[in-house]
Amino acid sequence: MQNRGISQAVIRRLPRYYRYLGELIEQGVERISSNELSKRMKVTASQIRQDLNNFGGFGQQGYGYNVKYLYSEIGKILGLEQDHNIIIIGAGNLGRALANYASFEKRGFILKGLFDINPELDGQEVRGVPIQMMDELPKFVDENSIDIAALTIPKDESIKVAKFLAEHNVHGIWNFAHTDLNLPKDVIVESVHLSDSLMKLSYNVSRHREEQNNHDHREDAVDVVGGTPGGVEEEFRKAYLGDGRHAIREEEYADEGYREDRNPRGSHEQRLRNAFLEMYVRHAGSLSVGSPGFTPERLPSSQSRRCRCPSPARRKARQRWRHCSQ
């Protein structure tokens, strides 16, 4: 199975496929289509097919994917067909939490040792594995074949410990320290910065809150301009076509009606409504919704938009507008 040149973005999605397929096996599902899997995972079916096609054809048209087979093959791609010996450097709260996570063993990650500098922890056990002191680490690493070391220690110490581990043939570093490690190319580093993940969550929460506020502004705008399409058109014309100072000229406004004939995108009145609401939401921060002084004239003029219709079409639209206005 060829997996050379596969992007890291695809590799990062494989564990999620593996997890969902494992849940399907527990539920007794034998086969599944890319469309059904996409609904469960909230991704597109085409992305699933593209990701899996990087490693060969797993599915059959009209049949879908054999869940157990696909689960097994993705496990092989992720290197889970063999066990990995792992040690944890730092037996504090985070280190103990990792050691107590039983699912690691189910995936083939076997905890071999925990190490710390705190003498009060010496000899204590976590799930049957004793905590050892750091001065015992060199001998332990030399006598045991360690594949992965998890670092849950301060960043100043993590750099020194990571270099030591690299020199003693530990080729996988799971780095929880808040720093980037520069190690030889034959040492693979996977960094987990918890604060970075929390900041991304903060961004998404803030964005969701902003979108919700904009939605609320649009609801308020509907109440302000009234419910009838004719009322919206009248208010929009007063705000944007009432005098020569406004940027949208009458023929450009008419062109919107002309484009409806060639490329229908909802009713003429509905587009007027949407345009007004967008203008309202854009400037809602400086307006008091529902206040007696609020009128569409208070909205700032929009920037001028150049009509993309050819000249004959513009003339036809102008004629059409004048006919409808009579």
- The CATH code of the domain that includes 30 is 1.10.10.10
Give the pLDDT confidence score for residue 286 in this predicted structure.
Answer: 42
| Domain co-membership, 204 together with 247 | yes
Please report whether residue 39 resides in a domain: yes
Please report whether residue 214 resides in a domain: yes
| Domain co-membership, 96 together with 57 | no
Please report whether residue 102 resides in a domain: yes
Residues in the chain: 326
**What average pLDDT score do residues 16-25 get?**
94
Predicted TM-score (pTM) of the model is: 0.63
Q: Given a cut of 80, is residue 93 above it in pLDDT?
A: yes
Angle among Cα 144, 149, 154 to the nearest 5 degrees reads: 135
| Domain co-membership, 229 together with 130 | no
Please report whether residue 3 resides in a domain: no
Domain end residue (candidates: 18, 46, 77): 77
| Domain co-membership, 240 together with 298 | yes
pLDDT in tens, 143-156: 999 999 999 999 88
- The CATH code of the domain that includes 132 is 3.40.50.720
Q: Given a cut of 50, is residue 180 above it in pLDDT?
A: yes
Q: Given a cut of 70, is residue 290 above it in pLDDT?
A: no
| Domain co-membership, 67 together with 132 | no
| Domain co-membership, 91 together with 131 | yes
Which of the listed ranges 5-9, 185-189, 237-241, 252-256 does the model predict with the highest average pLDDT?
A: 185-189
Listed range (21-25, 35-39, 217-221) with the worst mean pLDDT:
217-221
On whether the CB atoms of residues 221 and 215 are closer than 8 A, the answer is no
| Domain co-membership, 209 together with 282 | yes
Give the pLDDT confidence score for residue 56 in this predicted structure.
Answer: 76
| Domain co-membership, 211 together with 317 | yes
| Domain co-membership, 278 together with 182 | no
Q: What would the two tokens of residue 208 be? A: 């969701």
Q: What is the DSSP letter of 241?
A: S
| Domain co-membership, 164 together with 275 | no
| Domains: count for the chain | 3
Please report whether residue 2 resides in a domain: no
DSSP bridge partners of 89: 115, 151
Angle between the 67-77 and 8-26 helix axes, to the nearest 10 degrees? 140
Q: Which residue has the tokens 């529902």?
A: 290
Q: How confident is the model at residue 273 (pLDDT cuts 50, 70, 90)?
A: low
Give the pLDDT confidence score for residue 153 in this predicted structure.
Answer: 93
Coil, helix or strand at residue 310: coil
Q: What would the two tokens of residue 238 be? A: 């007063």
Please report whether residue 221 resides in a domain: yes
Distance set, CA 162 to CA 76, 133, 136, 204, 233 (Å): 28, 16, 16, 33, 68
Give the pLDDT confidence score for residue 303 in this predicted structure.
Answer: 41
Domain end residue (candidates: 145, 171, 192): 192
**What average pLDDT score do residues 215-230 get?**
54
Percent of the chain beyond pLDDT 70?
63
Q: How confident is the model at residue 267 (pLDDT cuts 50, 70, 90)?
A: low
Q: Given a cut of 50, is residue 288 above it in pLDDT?
A: no
Please report whether residue 148 resides in a domain: yes
Domain end residue (candidates: 53, 77, 101): 77
Residue 305 belongs to what domain range? 198-325
